[in-house]
Structure 1
Amino acid sequence: MTFLNRLVDKALKDPYVSTLIVKLEKQYANHFIGKNTEVLNLTGKEYLDLLRFADILCRSEKYEARNTAYKIISLLHAFYNDDQMFKLQAYNVLVKLGNFPSIEIVLGETKVHSDEIVIDRIVKETYQAAPGSSNIFTDTQYKLFEKMKDSNHFSFSGPTSFGKSFIFESFIKYLIEKKNGSDNIALLVPTRALINQVSMKLKNVINNKKYKILTKPVVPLLYKQSDTRFIFVLTPERLISYLSEANPVINYLLVDEAHKLLSETDTRAPLFYHALMIAKRKSINLYFSSPNVPNTEIFLQLVGNSVEETLSIKENSVAQNRFFIDCIEKRAVYFSEYGDEQVLEYSGYASDSHTNLKNAINILGENSPNIIYCNTKDDTIQYALEYAKTLSYRSDNELGQLINLVQDTMHEEYYLVDCLKKGVAYHFGGLPQRIREKIELLFQKKIIKNIFCTSTLLEGVNLPAKNIFILSNAIGLTKLSKIDFWNLAGRAGRLTEDLSGNIICLRIIDKRNRWENPDKDLQVIKDKSVGDVSSVLMTNQGKFYINIGNSIRNEPFTRKHVTENEKRMLDSYGNILAYHALSKTDSILRSKFIDRNNQAKEIINYLEKFNKVPEKILSQSSTIKLVYQNKILSSSMSLMNIPERTGYQECLDLLNTLCDLYNWEKEESGGRNPLVRSKAVLGYYAVLMSSWINSQPLNVIIKKTINYFDENSKQISINNRDFVLFEKENRAHINHIVNNVVSDIENLLRFKIKIYVKNYVDLLNIKYQKDEETIDIPNWDNYLEYGTTDLTIIELQNLGFQRHIASFLKNNYLDFFVMENGIITDFLENELKEQLQKSKYMQEYEEVSNTLGWS
């Protein structure tokens, strides 16, 4: 052991070091909650000793020592940021850690002269330069990047603030340079919400003109004609669709937020697994990224790759301070890095939840960007509204533009307008993408200071803040897992802007899943270690392999009480297993099913004998039970043709047909947000569907829906309570409709219903081929995906434009697109840019500019 290592080990175990850090933590915690208690302040000697210890610890290879060094610097920065001695020592520590993004925070305009530190920095900046940019890898990022470069597949994890997206961006640049721009690359993201964010970022950082960044599973003819290569940003369902057709080969697949693959409650997990197994079958090189997972080899195991190429990062790029404030029991504590709870004097206790929240934000979040996690959509809106009421009106040009956008594109009575007028916003998956993006941009610019949100932040949305207030320890009705908690809490602190962030678990009401059992609930924040994670495919939990066999044969599960989520996941895995068995796919799902279900051979024989659905259709319909697909194929009855017209009645007829054929009243009626509680809801879906696929803008769809509920005396259920008659003049009722319309278009029309429509179209085509009939079946699944029947608008969306911009370009600037038989064959991009710059359409120019990477 070297002298330095002995020194580091001694410092880590030295009670004097821990005593000093605890004292510094107390000083910081009291300062944070507004109590400047002089008696807690460090002496001059203690201050210098802490700097010396930080200098020793930062030189270690041990992540515990390096994290402690960084923690000391981050805490001292709150009190000594103007002290030259601190700046010199902090600069030294950050260079030793390779944490270059934080150096400017510490130094500001100050120039530090130290030959040793400057030389050390120059060496690291030279060797650790990220490909194709001026950014420098931290030591840990550089170590990871070098390992990835030498691997055909890889899996890594790190804290939320580690910079996983930066690693992937740098790796893409490396692949382009190494392969001389010959390979196609794809990024797999868990939800649509992330597609635009990731693709826009890539357009800003990938400068190679040979590459086009696409977000649809279609390569436009315009790009096929030239020597173009592609970077795709796709969800699992879009990747499955892409790989099912004769498209350009994808060579590398980078999987973001890979822990979603392991979820036992997220019904998209089977789809994620299915997409990856298809990619593996196509011999695509797979690279996984996840937050805080210690056993990163699990993702490689699930797809059947060797497990040596992994790395789990535990070094922090941003330090975090942990607080719990219990406004019910009137108790405030700070959680020390050494495991002790430090009781604090807090002055913000009140008798109601809204005042408790207002006081906490005003005392703890003053002058800082804050994220307030509320769990449910209703809580998110109500807490944002009530907090906004306590603030003065804001006058800001960009805020005004966003308010106008919300009123013009959604509804003038939408509650978000009230919040934005005070510089407050709420953020959840049911908001239109362009509104969410504007909110995120204004938050980054600090024009919006407080964002109230649901678990959309856990989907990987890049939205860090100085402080995160966590009002609930659950997602929906399920307690936050350790991975989800630290993924959420990891948003506290912004690399390049903060040395540290603050996590405040805040109990403001005595209610279920609102930290109601602190002794038990707080373990998730007290213990920062995340244990190994597992997959049901490995554990066979709940007789998993017996039950997916039962699903295939449409038999009861082994347990009477199976939740709707569990049922959907078992059915989906059953369908995927059927596909693997019939296509002879070598997978862990198939091999373990054969090992752990003693009726496996009979079930596979049953499948081979009973199933008539082609493999390609099975592959794209993994959420639909085989029994219904086969009934449609074998039916001797006359089936409804897909209608040519797309009016309300045609939509309603098609929905009724799908409801009957696929037994929605059984298969889609369970859970908190079912597709079909009763057939009566199909009239509402028909209104949405006919408006959406006929290219109508969102505000028109919302108004049509409001009129439908009013004219037909429909009932609504606000906050999942009793049903009440819809009132057109009731603002709460209007907001309920607005939120549902946006969410239902995204999650029901463009996802669930679209999958059923596509399956029905595909099966009808098979039936007609079998009967030697030639009928041209309209692609209603495309109509639902793109929100139009207009082939030009579809073409423009395939080029990367969002639906509203595609309609705008078609109506105003179609002359800049050369069309042949409805297909875009050329694009006068420079001329379009010149004309848009001169136009009155500044908002549209900005969006087109972002899409095409002009800015």
Structure 2
Amino acid sequence: MSDEVYRSEQQNLLVNFYENKKDDTISVIAPTSYGKSELILSTVKEYAGKKICVLTSTKALLIQTKKRIQQISKDIFPKIVVHPEMYNPNDSSCLAVLTQERLLRLFKKDPQLSFDCIIVDEAHEMLDNNNRSQTLANVIIVAQKRNPKVAFKFLTPFLADSTNLKARYTTYDIEGFKVSEYIKTEKYFLYDLRNYTGLKLYDQFLKKYIPISDNQNFDFEEDVVKAYSAGKNIIYLNKPTDIEKFALTLADVFPEVESELIQTACDSISEYLQPQYNLLTCLRKGIIYHHGSVPDVIRIYIECLYKNDDAIRYVITSSTLLSGINLPAERMFILDNKRGRSNLSHDSFMNLVGRVCRFSEIFNHENGNLYRLEPQIYLVFGKYFAQNANGEKFLHKVAKVEQNYKDAVDNVLLSEAKITSDNEEKLRQASEFIENYENGVVEDYQERYISTAAGKACIMNGITEFDVFAHEATIQQRVDAYQSESLKISNSNTLLETINELFIQHLPDNGAENLKRLEKKEARNFYSMMFEWRVKNKSYAEMINLFVGYWQQLYKKDRNATIYVGKWGDVKYPGSNVARYTKIDGKNRTQLVNLAIVRIKEEQDFIDNTLIKYVEVLHDLSLIEDGFYAQIKYGTDDERTICLIKNGLSLSSATLLIKKYRELFQIDVPASTVVYSKNLVTEMRKAEENQIQIYEVQSCM
């Protein structure tokens, strides 16, 4: 027991191990809810007066982590850096909570910056074969190059071997602690809707199924969920389209709930977005859904609502839940065996089921229950499982206890990744990028070096969609021509045409589908329109109306008009094997509004995560007017509003505070800090501001 907290034997050993390795690089492999968050807090305290960074895998987790740290860091660090522009090179100490992409931009901003400690949360994600995993390895490589004594703290709910977290071109060794004790033991149930075999209990220790006769026969997933649900339930599906479809189907079997909180939330979301949003239909029935295409501010708001209102019993979610997002629940229903294009792995499955019955809920003084040490997990084998899936074999594979699992190390920038003829070229490209980003990283480097300012700007801004080395001379020639004319970009049309002329034509034929679309004039016009909306500070509700109006105009011109909608598509474009388009014909306003909501979110993500990199290159090369650049990046050129945005607020909330509540906070623009009055939220409530914006402001205080 410590500080009135009772620990298990291995929790106690973990804390002692962690405290004895304060200056060392270590890994902690422990199940969800085992206390990794407390380790982060203790490390922040330990590195007071130094420079420490907590790396999170998503923006949602960044906000959650920042809020948790904020409570103990106020007297230790003057601010928490959550955006590269918040960092002041003159600060002697620094506490940063960033995604890997933001840290890479921060390293670019200050070539002298080095950290004393970097905590990598959800560290297992570094093993994957994707751009984000490679970026995570990149920042670890750069961090150690700049400070060979930096201490990395790798935290993960699962990993077979800690040495698999070792990045190439680094010298750190990892000492690991792995929890092996069982405190929670899941009870797995399989309900087979395909073969009509009813409910079975799966014993993961005996590796066998036990039929359960409860005289209940169901034909649909929603009936199974309704029959076996508890007070708070998580329902897993893979595709956002399936999530929204099932949420509405489940809503049909429940009556509306009575809750003032829900009514207020519905009013606020209706005002912020549109009253036709499908989430509102579900929310009134005590159901929310949660996936990557739900607007960030809405997702964070409804997560809080789910935690605080017992009337909301169901959250239907995708693998976004796997990235450390914590929601209270005592029962889980898994309706899909996929994560992305692959099957749920054993590790992902165990991470998923670990999200229910967290220790903080089990051992809660007010409503804790030791029965929750045996959380009930229901696999519903029905229409959402892959056509060729076998429910029994799948559960046996992912839930079986005694297996000698090995990590799949697919990131070529990790030392233990096997380099074959298939990925040798990928390693060469990754090595070229990191050596040109941070010279001296790769020992005995024999590959290409960048030779132009344009090429260097591309590398420093993370341009990897085309071969920068092969095309930098051509790009530089065009840049020189622009600079000789002393003309700077000051409007969206010119911006998109310049990006197309300088970069898009160099994209390979078989990659970067989103960017390749910019070869078409229609696509450039569309993103020019999106940028103009940003410059004009359009609200989300206004953008939805503009989107729907834009589509309706297309329909008036051509009754067979199709629009690009990405994962929401049901029409294949000629020459493509994937349905990325849909027809406007036959869709009513509610369908168009809901399509607009997810597409705005996805298009904003594309702009903020991909297209903005090319804007940054143009700015670094002095081809964009500073005021226009600020408007494109932030939606405003007002320094005070930009400071609020850097500190975590959306543009709409930042604008609201500047306009109506200026006397209730202090802004230090050079230091990128904001100090809020304790009365701010009270005054916003008195003025009956939108609850979503009130909650957003409260989260940043």
Question: With structure 2 as the length reference, what TM-score do the two structures score?
Answer: 0.85
2:620 paired with 1:778: no
CA change 1:466–1:675 in 2 (3 A) is farther
Q: Which amino acid aligns with 1:689?
A: F
Partners in 2 of 1:451 and 1:826 — Cα distance?
Answer: 34
Partner of 2:543: 701
Q: Which amino acid aligns with 2:656?
A: F
- 1:277 shift after superposition: 1.2
Equivalent of residue 321 in structure 1, options 174, 184, 187: 187
Partner of 2:316: 452
Partner of 2:652: 804
- 1:731 shift after superposition: 2.0
2:125 paired with 1:260: yes
Equivalent of residue 584 in structure 2, options 696, 714, 725: 725
2:387 paired with 1:509: no
Partner of 2:54: 187
CA change 1:395–1:458 in 2 (3 A) is same
- 1:813 shift after superposition: 1.9
Equivalent of residue 12 in structure 2, options 130, 142, 156: 142
Equivalent of residue 475 in structure 2, options 611, 620, 632: 632
Bigger mean CA deviation after superposition, 270-279 or 375-384? 270-279
CA change 1:273–1:136 in 2 (3 A) is same
- 1:430 shift after superposition: 1.4
Equivalent of residue 374 in structure 2, options 488, 500, 514: 500
- 1:423 shift after superposition: 0.8
- 1:263 shift after superposition: 0.6
Structure 2 counterparts to residues 11-160 of structure 1, below 5 A: 125=1, 128-129=2-3, 135-151=5-21, 152-160=24-32
Task: Tell me the C-alpha RMSD between the 2 structures.
Answer: 3.3
Partners in 1 of 2:450 and 2:320 — Cα distance?
Answer: 44
Gaps of 5+ in 1: 1-124, 549-569, 595-599, 766-774
Bigger mean CA deviation after superposition, 685-694 or 235-244? 685-694
- 1:823 shift after superposition: 8.2
- 1:485 shift after superposition: 1.7
Counterpart secondary structure, 1:472: coil
CA deviations 1:569-621 (Å, max 9, x no partner) are x7xx71553432684434xxx46xx7xxxxx84xx1xx138666575752332
CA change 1:822–1:690 in 2 (3 A) is farther
Counterpart secondary structure, 1:324: strand
2:272 paired with 1:409: yes
* Greater RCO (Cα-Cα under 8 Å, separation 6 or more): 2
Q: Which has the higher helix share?
A: 1
CA change 1:644–1:154 in 2 (3 A) is same
Partner of 1:295: 161
Partner of 1:431: 294
- 1:207 shift after superposition: 5.0
CA contact (8 A) 1:617 1:759 kept: yes
CA change 1:682–1:644 in 2 (3 A) is closer
2:232 paired with 1:389: no
Partner of 1:277: 141
Partners in 2 of 1:668 and 1:199 — Cα distance?
Answer: 41
Partners in 2 of 1:389 and 1:527 — Cα distance?
Answer: 38
- 1:677 shift after superposition: 7.7
Counterpart secondary structure, 1:638: helix
2:207 paired with 1:343: no
2:700 paired with 1:851: yes
CA change 1:301–1:726 in 2 (3 A) is same
Equivalent of residue 524 in structure 2, options 660, 676, 682: 682
CA contact (8 A) 2:235 2:314 kept: yes
Partners in 2 of 1:510 and 1:156 — Cα distance?
Answer: 35
Partner of 1:484: 348
Bigger mean CA deviation after superposition, 841-850 or 650-659? 841-850
CA contact (8 A) 2:56 2:98 kept: yes
Partners in 2 of 1:669 and 1:421 — Cα distance?
Answer: 45
2:632 paired with 1:743: no
CA contact (8 A) 1:655 1:686 kept: yes
- 1:156 shift after superposition: 1.5
Partners in 1 of 2:545 and 2:31 — Cα distance?
Answer: 44
CA contact (8 A) 2:191 2:381 kept: yes
CA deviations 1:284-304 (Å, max 9, x no partner) are 321111121121222135563
CA change 1:684–1:717 in 2 (3 A) is closer
Partner of 2:417: 539
Structure with larger Rg: 1
CA deviations 1:443-500 (Å, max 9, x no partner) are 2233310111111112221124211111111122222222222111221222232323
- 1:751 shift after superposition: 0.5
Partner of 1:623: 464
Identity %: 20
Partners in 2 of 1:267 and 1:582 — Cα distance?
Answer: 16
2:580 paired with 1:580: no
CA contact (8 A) 1:210 1:228 kept: no
CA deviations 1:142-200 (Å, max 9, x no partner) are 32222222322111111223232232223323x15xxxx31232110112222111111
Q: Which amino acid aligns with 1:297?
A: T
Partners in 2 of 1:628 and 1:693 — Cα distance?
Answer: 31
Question: With structure 1 as the length reference, what TM-score do the two structures score?
Answer: 0.70
CA change 1:308–1:540 in 2 (3 A) is closer
- 1:690 shift after superposition: 1.6
- 1:642 shift after superposition: 8.0
Equivalent of residue 357 in structure 1, options 213, 221, 225: 221
Partners in 2 of 1:617 and 1:368 — Cα distance?
Answer: 51
Partner of 1:88: none
CA change 1:672–1:615 in 2 (3 A) is closer
Counterpart secondary structure, 1:438: helix
CA change 1:159–1:828 in 2 (3 A) is closer
Gaps of 5+ in 2: 362-371, 556-560, 572-581
- 1:361 shift after superposition: 1.2
2:43 paired with 1:171: yes
Q: Which amino acid aligns with 1:539?
A: A
